[in-house]
Amino acid sequence: MRIRTVEPMELAAPGDELSSPWSSTVVLVKVTTDTGAVGWGEAPTTLMTVPVRESVREVARFYEGKELSAAAEAFEEFCRYSFYHSRSMEATSALSGVDIACYDLLGQELGVPIHRLLGGARRHRIRAYANGWYADCVAPESWARKARSMVTQGMTALKFDPFGDQFGTLSTAGLRAASARVAAVRAAVGESVDLLIEYHGRFQPEAAIRAGRELDQYRPSFMEEPVKPELSDALVEFRRKVATPVALGERLLTPSDFQSFLTRGLVDILQPDITNSGGFTYGVQIAGVAAAFGAPVAYHNAFGPVQTAATLQMDAWLPTFFLQESFETSWPEWKKGLVRGYRIEDGHFEIPDRPGLGITVDESAVEEARSEAMDPIGPEPPWVIAGTWVARSAPSPPLPGRRPPPVRKSR
């Protein structure tokens, strides 16, 4: 089986569908063989949609025309040629998307799910935590109400960013507001639900430590990316002064990055992202690093359904699995219709057991959502949940770069 084409496909929300900026685009990678078999991968977006999409075309040159069985050689050859790949999110993301699609094809060819290729499943059902559930939450009462709703749906762990528009520094009023929101969620869901505090790498060390010491009292299970990533050495002091474990990893790109953070004592829980840290090829190596340090792994998973399907295959095999992030309940409708083959129920994912990724991609839905536009910008950064940085009282008009609503023909 020979790889014929590697195609990046950008998808975008219809201009009339209101959603958080993070959920408005998807980059898929479609790998087609000379037999007509198709494998799917995914790469990240978050104001990187166009650069990552175009980087897939660079990676494609190393795979097209080669036997599928030579995909590992193509991976290594790209790494030799790509001088900046270990520090280029565009390069590693494009490579990850292609790698995921090749593993999908290998699983299909052999008739087994990818977790069988990795060595077999250690688990067939995994616990998820909800993210994205707190859109438009500002007052503590709204946080409490939506948190209770997620628990009613079966979720037993909730991640959220309570810091509003605070960035870099943290005012007294901002800290007080964040504390009130976390207190409201804890009171609403009780002690049986895990709370996970998302910082989004937004603070200077002093502000992060003040926030951590204040929020310790609500007994979160981890605090994610508390300091700006360029100031990561300060995590040593953060871990010394704050009781809650530190989680991070979505901005780390190579197995060596993860090893370095563990060796330097900067992190407790690893959060690799299969769409930017080398797909399954590096994923196996990162899992080995985590196991060597006894570090729990909770894969970052914030983009689309192909990413989720790939991540579930890793979760089935991971030696030190901890929790799995899920945005599924908060996705816009257009994204929910792209893929079939897995589901989340009662706060848990069942691991797909069909060949490859175990999913079916609705190619007509993919074609309908195709776009060449840049990510939308403003009024909130693309990494926040809508309505938590800038309150929105009504649907906003399409933002610059957003694809206009499709013209639908009447039957």
In tens, the pLDDT along 273-293 reads 999 999 999 999 999 999 999
Q: How would CATH label the architecture of 116-354?
A: Alpha-Beta Barrel (3.20)
pLDDT, tens digit, for every residue of 358-377?
Answer: 999 999 999 999 999 888 78
Determine the pLDDT at residue 375. Answer: 84
Q: What's the pTM?
A: 0.95
Of the residues 85, 124, 200, 348, which is catalytic? 200
As a whole number of angstroms, the distance between CA 361 and CA 41 comes to 11
Where do the domains of the chain lie? 116-354
Neighbours of 200 (CB within 10 A): 16
As a whole number of angstroms, the longest Cα–Cα distance in the chain is: 65
Is 300 catalytic? The answer is yes
Decide if 200 is catalytic.
yes
Tell me the sheet residues that pair with 128: 324
pLDDT confidence of residue 13? 86
pLDDT, tens only, 134-144: 999 999 999 99
- Summarize the confidence of residues 24-37 as an average pLDDT: 96
Q: Is residue 9 pLDDT above 60, yes or no?
A: yes
Q: In this predicted structure, what is the pLDDT of residue 208? A: 98
Catalytic residue among 85, 115, 300, 348: 300
Q: How confident is the model at residue 16 (pLDDT cuts 50, 70, 90)?
A: low
CB 81 within 8 Å of CB 27:
no
State the pLDDT at residue 171. 98
Q: How confident is the model at residue 18 (pLDDT cuts 50, 70, 90)?
A: low
Using 50, 70 and 90 to split pLDDT, how confident is the model at 24?
confident
pLDDT computed for residue 23 by the predictor: 84
